[in-house]
Amino acid sequence: MRYLNQLVILEYQALNGLYSSMQNISEIEELIKLISKLPGLGPRSAKRIVLKLINNREELIKPMAKNLAEVYKNIYRCKNCGSLKSKTIGCNNCENIKQKFNKICVVENIADQWSIEASSVYKGYFHILGGTISSNNINKDELLIGALIQRIKKEKIEEVILATSATIEGQTTAFYIQDSLKNVEVKISKLAQGLPVGGEIESLDDGTLIYAFKNRNSFSND
């Protein structure tokens, strides 16, 4: 254990030494700042990633830069369902689905959709909000509630499942959606209380998701 701790200290010192030699290079500093904004990454992890990239310019930086440019150019948010859409093939979440469903599940982000799909507990359409009402830089229009209402009517949806996180922001958003659908003839349900308070959908295990879906109940303001 002592030997392991010494290795960690040496690695940290080496990393700081390398970074110190690059501190006056503005391009590298800016890249570190950008990467540190990614989920689960801090300044230290960002430094290691940048060093890895720099040491593998042809294998990593060049193809990554090309791919990021293509993503920026061709991938954008679908105005109908909120998922990611390609200019070349359209939206696989709403346009390219051949199977018909009578349910639609409303989630905060695409990561939530992936988690639910991986659990195999739900078969139906998805509507991705892109955040919550209280999220930074998110306003109510960006949640695409108008598009959700149109999808409900067009696809003859019988049930809307509100699968927002059990956080204050998630529940506030759920109440807002429920109020927005008060004049639409559709059943509105929410996930069961197996969902832990403060829990985010994408971080839940399959068992919890399965319980929450199978025991969902009608949504009420009471």
Q: Tell me the one-letter amino acid at 9.
A: I
Question: In this predicted structure, what is the pLDDT of residue 186?
Answer: 92
Residues 138-192: tens digit of each pLDDT: 677 788 889 999 999 999 999 999 998 878 888 888 889 999 998 999 999 987 6
Question: In this predicted structure, what is the pLDDT of residue 9?
Answer: 44
Residue 115 or 16, more confident:
115
Question: In this predicted structure, what is the pLDDT of residue 131?
Answer: 86
**For the whole prediction, is pTM greater than 0.85?**
no
Residue 29 clears pLDDT 70, i.e. is over it: yes
| List of domains in the chain | 2-55 (1.10.8), 103-218 (3.40.1360.10)
Query: Do the strands 217-218 and 187-190 form a parallel or antiparallel pair, or are they unpaired?
Result: antiparallel
Q: What is the mean pLDDT of residues 85-110?
A: 88
Residue 37 clears pLDDT 60, i.e. is over it: yes
Question: In this predicted structure, what is the pLDDT of residue 19?
Answer: 53
Residue 188 φ/ψ, nearest 5 degrees: -115, 125
- Give the model's confidence band at 201: pLDDT under 50 very low, under 70 low, under 90 confident, else very high: low
Task: Look at 12-16, 149-153, 218-222 and tell me which has the smallest mean pLDDT.
Answer: 12-16
Asked whether 164 and 108 are in contact (CB, 8 A), the reply is yes
Residue 170: is it exposed, middle or buried by C-beta count within 10 angstroms (0-12/13-18/19+)? buried
* DSSP character at residue 197: T
Mean pLDDT of the chain: 81
Residues 44-81: tens digit of each pLDDT: 899 899 989 988 989 999 999 999 999 999 999 999 99
Residues 176-188: tens digit of each pLDDT: 999 999 899 999 9
Question: In this predicted structure, what is the pLDDT of residue 3?
Answer: 47
Question: In this predicted structure, what is the pLDDT of residue 119?
Answer: 83
Asked whether 111 and 105 are in contact (CB, 8 A), the reply is no
10 Å Cβ neighbour count for 14?
A: 10
10 Å Cβ neighbour count for 164?
A: 25
Residue 8 clears pLDDT 60, i.e. is over it: no
